[in-house]
A = this chain, B = another copy of it.
């Protein structure tokens, strides 16, 4: 293995072919075998702490030399605590129930045949990600548990860390009697490897990019295989005039301030005119106390003194920062219209005690997560009980919202007969 590979195209083709072959073994591996491999990888990472940190320090040094900023270097670092989390993550995935082989919806049809579905792996999953090296273990584990082979392409700044983790993964796979080719960690920093990876439908069935919007847009544009993609999170909370205002306060504060940089953070607050004065004077003040910059419509600014005017662009902006846009609306109708126009269809919530309005909001808001009286911050695979999350899809096709193991599977029809023929 080497960072520089002379013929990237042949290298990627060979690696993809190996993954495809290994995927057939993974697809029919038993639950016990897959779990044994995950546990073995966890053990391997445990005994390799020294090696992992030594390899990681090569990346950190190279990063510092290249002038990476402090935040990026921090994300790149494999601390003992992060190695522990990575190991713990693998054991958690081992403990999840195996989605593969699940049979459901078996029904007898008038012809006498019995028809249902069986959950099966997609095949080979390609994941393209940026600096955090723990994604290598996490993504490999999710693919393995769902019976898929994986082709992983991490950021070039984490090259040595990723290769060190790959060595532990391969060793764990071998110990469980599974082919180490089932997890391919691309061993070149050559950028053309990504272009190759997203145009090999014969070897890779789906691409999941995890990273900034630029990366995801470029990959979606150029891919010749399906992409499970996650673009913006412009999330809304609408406080109805029949809201319980204590709940409204709690939900709005949590949705904005529990963490600022996540995709499920509220970026726009909508408030019904009837409760605007009462609500905004309290929430506005509390947000400003927390250091959040407010940008509001005219009506908002009449209520909250320390509020900048919002421009049209604000309604379409994912701040990922302590900034919030606020708009007073006439009521439910206007709130839904605003959301369906400006939301990125990620996560939107209503706060109301009114049954009919809650029901309408759930039905009419076309976002991957729609909530009543709950903080948008809950939009997350772990919080939803998926057990793990490989990403959040803002698409409608195949997978939508937080994607767990099930998003990495397909289903086939199974038909049971007793010599049945079609007449």
Contact = CB atoms under 8 A, between A and B. Distances in A.
Interface of A: 24, 27-28, 101, 107, 109, 111, 113, 115, 118, 120, 122-123, 205-206, 226, 244, 246-247, 250-251, 253-255, 258, 340, 349, 351, 362-364, 366-375, 377-379, 383-385, 396-398, 400-402, 410-422
A384 B422 CA distance: 12
A378 B415 contact: yes
Given A205-B396, A397-B122, A412-B368, A418 B111 contact: no
B122 A417 contact: no
A38 to B, nearest CB: 21
Contacts of A120: 366, 396
Contact of A383 (B109, B118, B411, B418): B109
A236 to B, nearest CB: 14
13 contacts: A109-B385, A111-B383, A113-B383, A118-B363, A226-B226, A226-B397, A369-B412, A371-B416, A372-B415, A374-B420, A375-B420, A379-B413, A401-B412
A420 B378 CA distance: 9
Given A397-B410, A398-B398, A410-B396, A419 B373 contact: yes
A412 B375 CA distance: 17
Nearest 9 CB-CB pairs, A to B? A374-B417, A247-B419, A254-B421, A396-B410, A371-B415, A377-B422, A398-B398, A369-B413, A373-B417
Prevailing SS type, chain A contact patch: mixed
Nearest to A361: B414
A127 to B, nearest CB: 16
Contact of A413 (B101, B402, B417): B402
A361 to B, nearest CB: 10
B368 A115 contact: no
Contacts of A384: 109, 115, 413, 415
Contact of A414 (B371, B398, B413): B371
B418 A373 contact: yes
B363 A415 contact: no
Contacts of A375: 417, 420-422
Nearest to A411: B400
Contacts of A101: 363
Contacts of A362: 118, 414
A415 B111 CA distance: 40
A366 B27 contact: yes
Contacts of A417: 251, 371-375, 378
Contacts of A421: 250-251, 253-255, 258, 374-375, 377
Contacts of A398: 226, 397-398
Contacts of A123: 396
A276 to B, nearest CB: 20
B396 A113 contact: no
Nearest to A365: B412
A422 B366 contact: no
Contacts of A250: 419, 421
Contact of A28 (B251, B363, B396, B402): B363
Interface centre among A340, A362, A420 (most CB of B within 10 A): A420
Contacts of A379: 413, 415
A244 to B, nearest CB: 7
Interface centre among A28, A109, A362, A417 (most CB of B within 10 A): A417
Contacts of A349: 415
A385 B122 contact: no
A151 B55 CA distance: 55
B414 A251 contact: no
Contact of A412 (B367, B383, B397, B419): B367
Nearest to A243: B419
B251 A419 contact: yes
A188 to B, nearest CB: 28
